[in-house]
Amino acid sequence: MIQNERIKVMNEKPVATKKYVLYWMQQAQRSEYNHALEYAINQANELDLPVIVYFGITDSFPDANERHYHFMLQGLQQTKQALAKRGIQMVIQHCTPETGVLELTKNASLLVTDRGYLKLQRRWRSHVVKNAPCRVVQVESDVVVPVETTSSREEYAAVTIRRKIQKHLDAFLIPLRKRRLKKSSLCLKFKQFPIDRIDRAIARLEIDRSVAKSNRFIGGTDNAKRLLRDFVRHKLDHFIDQRNDPSKDMLSLMSPYLHFGQISPLYIALQIQRTESPGKNAFLEELIVRRELSMNFVYYNPWYDSYKGLPEWTRKTLAQHRKDNRQYVYDLEQLERAQTHDPYWNAAQKEMVLWGKMHGYMRMYWGKKIIEWTTDPQQAFRMALYLNNKYELDGRDANGYTGVAWCFGKHDRPWPERQIFGKVRYMNADGLKRKFKIDKYVVSILDQEAT
């Protein structure tokens, strides 16, 4: 079932009499639990037409580098193969997505697109809606509860959005049935960007090659589902007590796959919901409430990717303490190379550089220390965002921008005032040592670096 709230007709143009229904896949890079894909198949069956899935690879996606492209292409490779088994041809082209999709709309009866919340994604879709010769329908498949259904404004914190999401959950936590396509599109001919050999495909792209691919994370829906099964079987029971402990591996590791749309948040939620695990509700809080609070932030706050997007109280209190004495000050190069006095911070930075994902609790500590070691809070924000976007597989999305903003007070409350941080929450190394076997975490990262 696809709820009406997920579906939005974007223009007033008619459904044309052409060769196929075109699905522009950009955010939801998967062949299953994809509401936009299933909607396109349903419409194609009604029109007695095949479905074409289009994906455009641009060299210039902001802050993306070889690490991100490699992971994405691994996922697209799986998706293309899975779609072919359903009789659907996936057309991958090396061009700006909005340009390529408009070319294909010349023979499309209908254009279906999934939804992305970042400013660039919204500009792409606006341009296509304005210029497409046929009807354009946007179908949400990146959240459990559509953003506008939850709230019509930017929410202050999890406490204000939680109740609004929860009142809609029963209506949206519903399995998505896979539809059978009546007419195959595999015989149609299109210009293609070959991705059968990923290293060769990467070599053809004019992209930033300063960050190597992750050796820990392999892209694709199959790998995401394998990690999810492992999490449910071996980690979910311990999630409440041990999720924040960086010395233990008790996280789901779903965020890189969610970032690229290689797995559906609805699918994950349904898999977790069916368990009897004591960690179920805590995990669903992270997956749905916290993640969709991030979507709310980037959708309703036009300054989500800048210091200006922070709450007024956080900018005011940090400005008041800007000239406070700092025991240590580091520049961007020292931070990027993990050359600080703090072994815990250095380990967190190295984890991110090596693997493309930092432990969630350490990412909070990491961001807080950048504030402490930088003389200008605006500069600290820019450096944190730069490093997060450059190295994290799950950077450059709603959760990434919100995670950095949280370190500076977003979605948090004022705390007792102190040096440097003012009323923004403070974290220190003594807290890490008190709560966790943090030296074990450091040793594990250094061992990985050595190998």
pLDDT digits (tens, 9 = 90+) for 30-62: 999 999 999 999 999 999 999 999 999 999 999
| Structural contact between residues 243 and 250, judged by C-beta atoms closer than 8 angstroms | yes
Nearest in space to 295 (alpha carbons), one of 407, 156, 174, 146: 146
Q: Which residues of 268-288 are buried (b: 16+ CB within 10 A; e: fewer)?
A: bbbbbeeeebebbeebbebbb
How many residues are listed for the chain in this entry? 451
Average pLDDT over residues 391-412: 97
Q: Report d(CA 246, CA 435) in Å as an integer.
A: 10
What is the per-residue pLDDT for 1? 79
Over the stretch 271-323, which tens digit does the pLDDT of each residue have?
Answer: 999 999 999 999 999 999 999 999 999 999 999 999 999 999 999 999 999 99
Do 439 and 412 form a contact (C-beta atoms < 8 A)?
A: no
pLDDT (mean) for 69-79: 98
pLDDT at 365: 98
Q: Got the DSSP string for 156-207?
A: SSHHHHHHHHHTTHHHH--PPPPPPPSS--TT--------SSHHHHHHTS--
> In the prediction, which pLDDT does 106 show?
97
Query: What is the rounded CA–CA span in Å between residue 174 and residue 449?
Result: 43
The answer, yes or no, to whether residue 186 has pLDDT greater than 90, is: yes
> pLDDT at position 352, please?
97
Q: Where does residue 295 fall: left (phi above 0), alpha (psi -120 to 50 degrees), or beta otherwise?
A: alpha
> Which domains can be identified in the chain, with CATH numbers?
4-142+188-202 (3.40.50.620), 307-450 (1.10.579.10)
The pLDDT of residue 91 is: 98
Return the DSSP state at 307.
G
Q: What is the strand order of the sheet 108-113 is part of?
A: 7-9, 135-139, 108-113, 20-24, 51-56, 89-93
Distance CA 5, CA 143 (A): 12
Give residue-wise pLDDT tens across range 106-163.
999 999 999 999 999 999 999 999 999 999 999 999 999 999 999 999 999 999 999 9
Spatial separation of the C-alpha atoms in residues 205 and 203, rounded to whole Å: 6
% of the chain exceeding 70 in pLDDT: 100
Asked if residue 451 has pLDDT above 90, the reply is no
State the pLDDT confidence band at 450, using cuts at 50, 70 and 90: confident
Mean pLDDT of the chain: 97
Determine the pLDDT at residue 448: 87
Is the pLDDT score of 419 beyond 90?
yes
For residue 408, the model assigns a pLDDT of 98
Mean pLDDT of 248-273: 97
Q: Which residues of 171-198 are buried (b: 16+ CB within 10 A; e: fewer)?
A: ebeeebeeeebeeebeeeeeeebebeeb
CA 400 to CA 392: how far, in whole Å? Answer: 8
Mean pLDDT over residues 397-410, rounded?
98
Q: What are phi and psi of 336, to 5 degrees?
A: -60, -35
- The tens digit of pLDDT for each residue in 166-178 reads 999 999 999 999 9
| E strand or H helix at 52 | strand 51-56
State yes or no: pLDDT of 215 exceeds 90: no
